[in-house]
Amino acid sequence: MAGPGLGLGLLLHKPLLISHSFFNPNFSSSSTFSLMEDLLGLLRIRIHRGVNLVARDVTTSDPYVVIRMGQQKLKTGVVKKSINPVWDEDLTLSVAEPLPVTLEVYDKDAFSIDDKMGSAVFDIQPFLEAVKMRLENLPNGTIITTVKPTRTNCLAEESHITWSDGKAVQNMVLRLQNVKCGEIEIRLSWIDVPGSKGL
């Protein structure tokens, strides 16, 4: 394990493994207890697709997405030769405090360092506030909250937090920064972890 932070992130990626950590000699039980005491739950980020990304090879790119929050770092697979890639991959972060999430896009290169294709930061606080309302039985598609694009966030358009199939979800279109073009479409959802502090 690279470090306690990364280790815990990986462990929580599969919540069913939590109880196994109590019997894992490589894992300090005291840190497990403090983790569960501090844990608010799991944030699942569906990385849907990229739109009009920059070409970093001659006419195209081999893009993948890296998500960071605090010490945790997760990434998608590489979509080869596409500037409009569809990943449809779920990345799951364990949330002990609602830090901003950073999303970076890179072009995979076989024989050199992967090139940057832009980045964006987003705030999960409005989504957590919506989850905390503990709504129930709303019609599918009901809008709970709308977050507007501003000069200081990376939203390309209004982002709706909606009620979808029995839970709150937030759809976001992120405009990539430090690059001439490119947007990434993502969706947030929340998973409660039994025995944790919770929201």
Contact set with Ca ion (CB under 5 A): 57, 62, 107, 109
Q: Minimal distance in Å, beta carbon 119 to Ca ion?
A: 18
Closest residue to Ca ion: CB criterion: 62
Least separation, in Å, of the C-beta of 47 and Ca ion?
A: 18
The Cα–Cα gap between 135 and 41 comes to: 17
Complex with Ca ion: residue 57 or 157, whichever CB lies closer: 57
Considering beta carbons, is residue 9 or 182 the nearer one to Ca ion? 182
Shortest Cβ 52–Ca ion spacing (Å): 17
Quick one: 23 or 111, whose CB is closer to Ca ion? 111
Q: What is the C-alpha to C-alpha distance for residues 43 and 9, in angstroms, rounded to an integer?
A: 11
At 109, list the tokens.
């290169």
Rounded least distance, CB 147 to Ca ion, Å: 33
CB neighbours of 2 closer than 8 A, spacing ≥ 6?
A: none
Mapping DSSP onto H, E and C, the string for 88-141 reads: EEEEEEEECCCCCEEEEEEECCCCCCCEEEEEEEECCHHHHHHHHCCCCCCCCC
